[in-house]
Amino acid sequence: MSIIYINPYRFAAASTYDPDAQSYITAVEAADGQALEAGVKNAMNALVVGFKAQSIWTPAAQLLMPCGPRTLAGALVPLKQGIAPTNNGFLSGDYNRKTGLGDPSNTSKWLNSNVLQNSLPASSHALAWRGAVTVNSGDEVLIGRYNNVTIAASSLLSLDGWSAYISGRAFRSGTTTSSYIPVSTLTAAASCLIGSRTASNVASLYVDSNAAITNNASITTVFEAQSLGWFGLNAQSGALLVPSKDRLQIGGIYSSGLNATQAAAFRTLTQTYVNAIGAAIP
């Protein structure tokens, strides 16, 4: 009687995850050097599926998710395949699987997004940050770049931005001659901050709310061929000026503006994901 050997992997069930979610999971596990928990992978897949359903996946130039992966290397794998960030100074101890990436005493650490500012339409783009943000003394920038030599065009999501103007949170898209800070609020803390421009005369700031703070001043500007930074404000020379001390769990740089429905979807889906990660990791 002959014995038949069956390869169990040949008949293994195919992944039921979204293809982009599976690609991300595979890349993270390779960077981590070990598999992720089933609950973590399920949460990652649900987020990608949700982003696609709400039309906030395709317009993303970069999506980062330093929340869930086991290691800092895994945390810096971009959620959406494409442009990856470059780490400048963050160490393994700065990363926590549940609370994200950040250093409360940060003076020099930042991530180069490698997304060029001028790859974003000046009249239609958005910057989104999910994490823990608190207005500290002095200026800080969550996402963006600012040329302090020529006061050139820039796109910024900032904290306590330019205290001579406000003491809170701000989104800027344009030059000093056409709305220095289009929208701002005096809130002292938040977990989700989204700055969006959907037209040359429509800028909106969402701070843990579906209600937008808006500015309808018209801008005319041309963005520069400079990379946007996470956690830091980059001068013309590339020097770091005001690094953020806040924590990032999920963030997005968008090449088109997010409307109110899309902003609400980003806020809700990312909060659901963070909650799911908290439950999935002991």
Encode pLDDT of 190-210 as tens digits.
999 999 999 988 999 999 998
Q: Residues 225-254: what's their mean pLDDT?
A: 78
Give 66's pLDDT tier (boundaries 50, 70, 90): very high
- Give the whole-angstrom CA distance, residue 120 versus residue 32: 31
In single-letter form, the type of residue at position 232 comes to G
- Give the whole-angstrom CA distance, residue 175 versus residue 96: 37
176 assigned to some structural domain: yes
Instruction: Please give the C-alpha separations between residue 198 and each of 179, 194, 204, 225, in angstroms, as whole numbers.
Output: 15, 13, 8, 21
Q: Residues 30-49: what's their mean pLDDT?
A: 98
Contact predicate 83/76, CB 8 Å: no
Give 10's pLDDT tier (boundaries 50, 70, 90): very low
Predicted model pTM: 0.90
What are residue 206's phi and psi, to 5 degrees?
-115, 125
168 assigned to some structural domain: yes
Query: What is the extent of the structural domain holding 274?
Result: 38-280
* pLDDT of 119 above 60: yes
Give 5's pLDDT tier (boundaries 50, 70, 90): very low
252 assigned to some structural domain: yes
Give 171's pLDDT tier (boundaries 50, 70, 90): confident
Strands (E) in 12-88, as ranges, are 60-64, 86-88
Instruction: Name the one residue in this structure whose structure tokens are 């800028």.
Output: 203
pLDDT value of position 137 = 58
Nearest to residue 156, comparing CAs of 126, 178, 135? 126
Number of domains observed in the structure of the chain? 1
What are residue 8's phi and psi, to 5 degrees?
-65, -25
pLDDT value of position 243 = 80
141 assigned to some structural domain: yes
28 assigned to some structural domain: no
CATH of the domain at 225: 2.60.120
127 assigned to some structural domain: yes
Q: CA end-to-end span of the chain, whole Å?
A: 50
52 assigned to some structural domain: yes
Half-sphere exposure of 236 (CA within 13 A, CB side): 7
pLDDT value of position 9 = 32
228 assigned to some structural domain: yes
